[in-house]
Amino acid sequence: MRGYDEASYGDGMADVYDDWYAAPPDTDACIAALAALAPQGRVLELGAGTGRLAIPLAQRGLEMHALDGSAEMLRRLAAKPGGERVTCHVGDMATDLPPGPFDLVFVAVNTFFGILEPAAQAGAMLGIAERLRTGGYFVIEAFVPEQDADGDRIDVRDLSADRVVLSISRTDAAKQQAMGQFVELRDGMPVRLRPWAIRWALPEELDVMASASGLALESRWSSWAGAPFTAESSNHVSVYRKPS
């Protein structure tokens, strides 16, 4: 997508992010699972957004660091109650990781797929591994791709008497990429565009990247509550560890 960079998604979504993506029902389970991996430890969240996870983890006593490509997202994080407990870093997950060591690095809700090239994803994994303490964890939450999904789509995301939000997307299954726009049309107001783009990877591809970076898969669940991962699972939480 021409003109798209690491800040485009966050800058475009920051003003509506908390309204459009209210805390999912598994948020408490997610926080509990992450806190159990690094009790009282030093933790880095990648693509932290407005702080749905970083703030409550900091409130549990963890030394929280939050990285996001959008300064506006992090400004909103810092302005929330408890946001002052989180150290914020503006930067790209693939190239701007803050110095370690960390006991835990995690990336939630498909955000790792915001790195748009396979080589950059592998490089990011290596950078993460280098910043983990021995015995530290890297956790990634992501969807399991449907390999036959391809082509263009237009869907209605929201509809009211004076406003419509369209979701327009293009998927290239061969390149494992999808991109799109949320197009907001409001009576009497300029059109608002909110772009997004991803490059997905299968769980097995993530395992190869992790292994090449010196990380070992310790467990894989289909939910933050620890439900078993099966061939039918549409989501995965993968826990990698830096061995001794």
Would you say residue 2 lies in a domain?
no
Domains identified in the chain, total number:
2
Say if pTM beats, i.e. exceeds, 0.85.
yes
What are the pLDDT tens digits along the chain (244 aa)? Answer: 888 988 999 999 999 999 998 888 999 999 999 999 998 899 999 999 999 999 999 999 999 999 999 999 999 999 999 999 999 999 999 999 999 999 999 999 999 999 999 999 999 999 999 999 999 999 999 999 987 778 999 999 999 999 999 999 999 999 999 999 999 999 999 999 999 999 999 999 999 999 999 999 999 999 999 999 999 999 999 999 999 8
Whether 23 and 64 map to the same domain: the answer is yes
Task: Read off the CATH number of the domain in which 17 is found.
Answer: 3.40.50.150
* Predicted local confidence at residue 1, as pLDDT: 80
- Cα 104 to chain centroid distance, Å, stands at 15
Name the residue range of residue 106's domain: 8-145+200-241
Whether 76 and 156 map to the same domain: the answer is no
Whether 96 and 190 map to the same domain: the answer is no
Would you say residue 208 lies in a domain?
yes
Which DSSP letter does residue 70 get?
A: -
Whether 71 and 178 map to the same domain: the answer is no
Angle between helices 203-212 and 118-131 (to 10 degrees): 50
Task: Read off the CATH number of the domain in which 176 is found.
Answer: 2.20.25.570
d(CA 217, CA 241): 6
Distance between first and last Cα of the chain: 42
* Predicted local confidence at residue 156, as pLDDT: 97
